[in-house]
Amino acid sequence: MSKTVLMVLTSHDTLGESGHPTGWWLEEMAAPYLLFRDAGLDVTVATPQGGKAPLDPRSTLDEAQNEWTRRFMQDKEAQDAVNDTIPVDMVRAEDYDVLFFPGGHGPMFDLAEDESVADMITDFILEKKPVAAVCHGPAALLSAMDGNGNPVLAKKRVTGFSNAEETAIALHEVVPFLLEDALKEKGARYECGPEWQAHVVEDGLLLTGQNPASSLPLAEAVLKRLGVNYVRK
């Protein structure tokens, strides 16, 4: 029987008061989604609101493209999945083997404080199922609690988009909070690798990646955690 993955994207499409569009980041969805599918996993995509998930247009610029993003944009199944997502409140943790949050700045505005998302994460944790998140995706973990009423992040080693990286792209004064600081405030033991380089941290059921470059290594770590042996051709 195939392993099942639930990937949760943001429904938020505006970058704070700047008025600029935002959403989910292409590479952080494309590489994991396609790797999971290539490895034989069944992938479902959800958002808080359901329907079309907003893609950050900056992530479609030429300098942000690679083999995964180009393939994803030409893949009808992938496009159908992100344009017709299911609402998070229809999700049952028992139906999936792993939960995965791609990033983009959108999650900072909705996933970080969405009660349905927080409850869903708690359900996965209680069922001893892995929860993975990359770049700004770990914002989804901020409101989630474990079965004892403690933040799921408390005392956990995690990573996510760093203050230095946020400052480097000049959005540190635009985002509602700095993810690195917010993770630490929840009691997480934040770990940071070199800027823009792949960096993945695993602690218990939590698997996190620091930035877009960490998307594929994080997805590979998820496959290993699930016991799926797959070698990319």
Taking only the tens place, the pLDDT of each residue in 53-73 is 999 999 999 999 999 999 999
DSSP H or E stretch at residue 189: strand 189-190
Range of the domain at 77: 4-226
For 194-216, what is each residue's pLDDT tens digit?
Answer: 999 999 999 999 999 999 999 99
| Predicted confidence (pLDDT) per residue in 165-201, tens digit | 999 999 998 899 999 999 999 999 999 999 999 999 9
- What is the count of structural domains for the chain? 1
In a domain, 95, yes or no: yes
Angle, CA of 197, 202 and 205, to the nearest 5° = 140
Is 233 among the domain residues? no
We report the CATH number of the domain holding residue 185 as 3.40.50.880
Sorted by sequence, the CB contacts under 8 Å of residue 134 that are 6+ apart come out as 28, 32, 101, 102, 103, 208, 209, 210, 211, 212, 214, 215, 218
Average pLDDT over residues 142-152: 94
Query: Mean pLDDT over all residues of the chain?
Result: 97
Is position 18 within any domain? yes
Q: Which residues contact 60 (CB under 8 A, 6 or more apart)?
A: 26, 69, 73
Strands 42-47 and 131-134: unpaired
Position 232 in a domain: no
